């Protein structure tokens, strides 16, 4: 499984937490995250400065 918080692999045997994410128009989804706190994945919301 992939951690929904940090986007890294949850190894077999590693502690994980399952969270139910209810959907407004569908059945929803169960997502897994590391049981130990992990750093959230970096999200780029603007260009990286290579524009002229």
Domain containing residue 8: 1-35
41 domain residue, yes or no: no
16 domain residue, yes or no: yes
The DSSP output letter for 7 is -
47 domain residue, yes or no: no
Query: What pLDDT score was predicted for residue 50?
Result: 63
For 18-27, write each residue's pLDDT tens digit.
999 887 777 7
44 domain residue, yes or no: no
State how far the Cα of 18 lies from the Cα of 48, in Å rounded to an integer: 34
Spatial CA neighbour of 15 closest among 35, 1, 39: 35
Structural domain count, the chain: 1
Question: Tokens representing 6?
Answer: 């940090």
11 domain residue, yes or no: yes
Query: What pLDDT score was predicted for residue 13?
Result: 93
Query: What pLDDT score was predicted for residue 18?
Result: 94
**pTM for this predicted structure:** 0.64
40 domain residue, yes or no: no
pLDDT by 10s per residue, the chain, length 52: 899 989 899 999 999 999 998 877 777 889 999 999 888 877 766 666 665 5
State how far the Cα of 26 lies from the Cα of 28, in Å rounded to an integer: 6
């Amino acid at each position: 499984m992939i951690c929904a918080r940090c986007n890294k692999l949850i190894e077999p045997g590693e502690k994980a937490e399952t969270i139910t994410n209810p959907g407004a128009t569908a059945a929803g989804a169960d997502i897994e995250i590391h049981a130990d706190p992990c750093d959230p994945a970096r999200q780029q919301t603007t260009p990286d400065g290579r524009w002229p």
